[in-house]
Structure 1
Amino acid sequence: MIATQESFDPWAWRTSEVVLAPQAFESPDGSGTQAPWNDELQQQLADHLAVSPSSAASLDLADRLLAQPATELLRQQADQLRQALVGETVTYVVNRNLNFTNHCLQHCSFCAFRRDPGADGAYWHSFDTLQERAAEAVRLGATELCIQGGLNPEARLQGSALRYYQALLEALQQAAPGVHLHAFSPQELLFIAQQDRVPLQAVIDGLLASGLGSIPGTAAEVLDEAVRARLCPEKLSAREWCAVVLQAHRSGLRSTATLMAGHLETSRQRAGHLLTLVALQQVAWQHSQAGFSEFVLLPFIGAQAPAALRQRVGRDQPDLPAMLALTAQARLLLGRWIVNHQPSWVKLTLAGATEALRWGCNDLGGTLMEESITSAAGALGGTAQSVEALRAAASSLRRPVRERTTLYGLVPACF
């Protein structure tokens, strides 16, 4: 296997160090006793972000914001900013989730999805099965297929992991012509490169040639090495995640941005994560790339997590008031840099996600049609939503609602 940094273009590896916010252990956490967030502080934060999001001063201000409690004032501030940036319309996408295998060589402390080959509940779907599901999704009106899986070292074609993943995309294109392929996290992209001992750019170029449309920004968890050492020590590092995203964006691929919160992290570590997202978006925009398409908050689900982690976290389901506060805080911090914000109805339930629309969100995500990863963790939100249910959720708040594409465009009437 080639050395880690040799997987990346030199510019991406250098820049990945620059965009990472200062690690939170350098300063103590906490500003919760300070005065409520106000317009003056918001402007100070915006000024700092415009100059240097990855600075200690930016981190101090962002931490102060992320230590704010879930008050009506915080909700109103986030809701007003949402309205100013994206208006009143709530959007959603008709999509299908395809988790093609749960065979995985990593052992993340929070994951109830992974299986060893041959273990109870292990699966690796054939292309025929995935094509059938893709074709069914088209019949049900899907414009997107979201494709992710475990890190399966046996997923090879003619000895190559890249050829397997290319063939997977091509098979889905054949079964669902014209559908947007939103596939493969930064972790999966780096895994393919390492399996084949080729540069990451060769993987990105090969997948683009086979129909890749955009990538999910999962596997980020919290972009802080102290947290990752306890939560997912086998996963790619925070710096590696940033380097993959930098190269994907520079190649013209848009991605989502995520934060998995509500476990072992502090407000300061959350703040550093969000500041890193801003810095990455700035790099994309400086090079005339669109960068991140949306921000998705992923509350931690611990119902099926290992006992040691469950005990440390102290809850099996998300703390809704805390996640609503973080929803508002993320809207205020990310500001104009990432304007589309989406809650997870799988993790919060549809009722919780609907409430999040009042705390800064403007999108309800996708119909999914099936979901394996979060449901395996013990989430209560279900595995699918109908278009009617998503539209009714937005309408219950007297907000207009419309279907969108993966990249927030209008759905063609002839699709």
Structure 2
Amino acid sequence: MLSNLAHRALERAGLGPIRDKVLSKERLTEEDAVRLFEVKDLAAVGALANHVREERHGNLAFYNRNVHLNPTNVCVASCKFCSFARLDDQEASEGYTFQLDEAVEKVLSRKPLGVTEVHIVCGLHPTLPWEYYTELLRRIRAAWPEIALKAYTAVEIHFFAQKFGKSYAQVLTELKAAGLDTMPGGGAEIFAKRVRRKICDDKATAEEWLEVHRTAHRLGIKTNATMLYGTIETLAERVDHMARLRALQDETGGFQVFIPLAFHPEHNMIGKAFPKPTGYDGLRTYAVSRLFLDNFDHVKAYWVSLGERMAQTALSFGVDDVDGTVLEERIYHMAGSHVPQGQTESSFHRLIRLAGRVPAERDSLYHVLKVHEA
């Protein structure tokens, strides 16, 4: 229940009408969301977002046991915010491409740790054959039948379709037959054409990203959704991004979670021009997304991007998921992230409990596997 103190703070901030909409479960407009971004009283907005979060999930905070696999960082795209991609797999350029046996073994080596999901994202490699991507899934599935395979972003699916002369449906159907369970949400960045033209003009457009996810949902593949914040986008462009996700979710119901991702400025082309987003900006982005995305069940704070302390704090600003153990993460660490390379389950429990929440281990489809009461 929203406290009297929070009610008064929202009134003082001029958010009484928005508060009333939220409490009556009336959908917020894009103008409402921009207003929430602009208001100075972060605590008041956070309290409202926390009310919605606790209505949906009580005191639970979700996580899973996962390992990341990035089979190659060779990429033909030239996204100006990216610190992961390389033009070739020569040692001097820090580019690499795993052989299939090597990639599979990296995943299987984590089996004794009780991992339940492998998260696979590649660069857009110019010469790897289609069979590399399907065989990778097929081999992991054969060796580890119970593992959940969350693989290949919409940008990769679009790239595969163009390169190999297939439709999105054909690509996804063949990947699903090879073992694909769900899809990550990367590559969305910001949907606004103005922004994409300046920071990622040579990869899938916003419309193409959305169409890939629409197709995946029609095929019964659940997916995630992301938003990169903290580069050149305006607050209105952030809201437009979320509005387009909300519209597709109304249409298909196939998104599982929304994940705002903080821009990391290290080791990329635009890092000197744009500092890392502040904690204030991160928390308000999580809070506004929880209030605006009324048809998304979950909002995730990706602790590798945000940092452990901010992810913990976000659990009181609308967030209910802190991702997972994230073993072998490369993309954000190559962008300068200084968080540990993976977390133990016990450290996750401690982080969540110290935030006043109850750890709940989930699978890739957000089924609760175990609630770890104190």
Relative to structure 1, the CA distance from residue 91 to residue 228 in structure 2 (aligned partners, 3 Å threshold; closer, same or farther) is: same
For 2:258, the equivalent position in structure 1 comes to 295
Deviation of 1:303 after TM superposition, in Å, equals 1.6
User: Deviations 1:294-331 (Å, cap 9, x if unpaired)?
Assistant: 1111000002122xx22431x1x331111111111111
The residue matched to 2:67 in structure 1 has which SS?
strand
Contact 1:66 1:270 in 2 (8 A): no
Query: What amino acid is the match of 2:190?
Result: V
Alignment of 1:137-176 (within 5 A): 137-156=110-129, 161=130, 163-176=131-144
For 2:291, the equivalent position in structure 1 comes to 332
Deviation of 1:44 after TM superposition, in Å, equals 5.0
Aligned with 1:134 (options 87, 107, 113): 107
Aligned with 2:196 (options 223, 228, 241): 228
Query: What amino acid is the match of 2:264?
Result: I
For 1:120, the equivalent position in structure 2 comes to 93
Alignment of 1:27-46 (within 5 A): 36=13, 38-42=15-19
For 1:27, the equivalent position in structure 2 comes to none
| Alpha-carbon distance in 2 for matches of 1:211, 1:43 | 46
Relative to structure 1, the CA distance from residue 252 to residue 47 in structure 2 (aligned partners, 3 Å threshold; closer, same or farther) is: farther
For 1:261, the equivalent position in structure 2 comes to 229
Give the aligned length.
359
Contact 1:100 1:149 in 2 (8 A): yes
Where does the alignment leave 5 or more consecutive residues of structure 2 unmatched? 1-10
The residue matched to 2:40 in structure 1 has which SS?
coil
| Alpha-carbon distance in 2 for matches of 1:259, 1:49 | 24
| Alpha-carbon distance in 1 for matches of 2:13, 2:22 | 14
Relative to structure 1, the CA distance from residue 311 to residue 174 in structure 2 (aligned partners, 3 Å threshold; closer, same or farther) is: same
The residue matched to 1:212 in structure 2 has which SS?
coil
Aligned with 1:186 (options 154, 164, 170): 154
Alignment pair present for 1:66 and 2:29: no
User: Deviations 1:115-158 (Å, cap 9, x if unpaired)?
Assistant: 122242111011111221221222111110000110012110xx
| Alpha-carbon distance in 2 for matches of 1:350, 1:177 | 32
Give the alignment's TM-score, normalised by structure 1. 0.82
Contact 1:100 1:124 in 2 (8 A): yes
Where does the alignment leave 5 or more consecutive residues of structure 1 unmatched? 1-33, 286-290
Query: What amino acid is the match of 1:154?
Result: T
Contact 1:370 1:383 in 2 (8 A): yes
Alignment of 1:9-408 (within 5 A): 36=13, 38-42=15-19, 58-69=29-40, 71-117=42-88, 118=90, 119-156=92-129, 161=130, 163-285=131-253, 291-306=254-269, 309-313=270-274, 315=275, 317-335=276-294, 337-408=295-366
Contact 2:104 2:136 in 1 (8 A): no
| Alpha-carbon distance in 2 for matches of 1:185, 1:213 | 13
More off after superposition, 213-222 vs 124-133: 124-133
| Alpha-carbon distance in 2 for matches of 1:107, 1:48 | 42
Relative to structure 1, the CA distance from residue 40 to residue 70 in structure 2 (aligned partners, 3 Å threshold; closer, same or farther) is: closer
Give the alignment's TM-score, normalised by structure 2. 0.91
Supply the RMSD in Å over aligned alpha carbons: 2.1
The residue matched to 1:312 in structure 2 has which SS?
coil
Relative to structure 1, the CA distance from residue 339 to residue 143 in structure 2 (aligned partners, 3 Å threshold; closer, same or farther) is: same
The residue matched to 2:149 in structure 1 has which SS?
strand
Runs of 4+ in 1 over 6 A off after TM superposition: 45-49
Contact 1:348 1:381 in 2 (8 A): no
Deviation of 1:219 after TM superposition, in Å, equals 0.2
Contact 1:70 1:324 in 2 (8 A): no
